[in-house]
Amino acid sequence: MVRCLTDFSCWEIIAKLAPLGTALIVLIAAIIVLGVMRVQMHIARRRASIDFFLKTEMDKTVIDLYNKFKANAPSIAFVPDPSDLTRSDYNDARAFLNICELIAVGVNKGAFSKSVSEAYWGDVIPDAYQTAKQLINNIRTTPGEGSRYTYVNLEKLAKRWGKRTKKATKLVDRS
């Protein structure tokens, strides 16, 4: 081995392998960078979720909207006329549904962490959708109120999380 180094007979082999070694080092570095980026993205999604949910919990208006939604939404199945006295309750229900839709868009598009969002809103989203399902269908068909795309993300997420909630309930019931 020492003789190879001193008479430079193996340097030619080493020189031929150097580009392969360089490429291997670059590949390993790229894999490490991609892993770090993935972890940072996951952390950023979790932080965004927690920040958003913390702000919604601290906002008295959102809490009031939730309470009004729980109290009034089950009795609102149709879009009331603008002059109707229940229009205020309808507007509150729509405001809360809009917040739920925003959360659903964030989860469905990857802006929010799925696990954090489901852990915190996993029962609220399916419940809100089920409570307002008939109202949502009527909003979609009422000109000037919505379209067939209104609350689509909420519907998708509610159905997905609703299935998981049912499975979890079945597991708990068997214990």
> Own/partner pairs for 78-82, CB < 8 Å, 24+ apart?
78/135, 78/138, 79/135, 79/138, 79/139, 79/142, 79/145
- If you count them, how many residues does the chain have? 175
Q: What is the pLDDT at residue 175? A: 43
Over residues 116-149, the pLDDT tens digits come to: 999 989 999 999 999 999 999 999 999 999 999 9
Mean pLDDT on 155-170: 78
* DSSP conformation letters of 89-124: HHHHHHHHHHHHHHHHHHHHTTSS-HHHHHHHHTTH
Residue 71: count of CB within 10 angstroms of its CB: 12
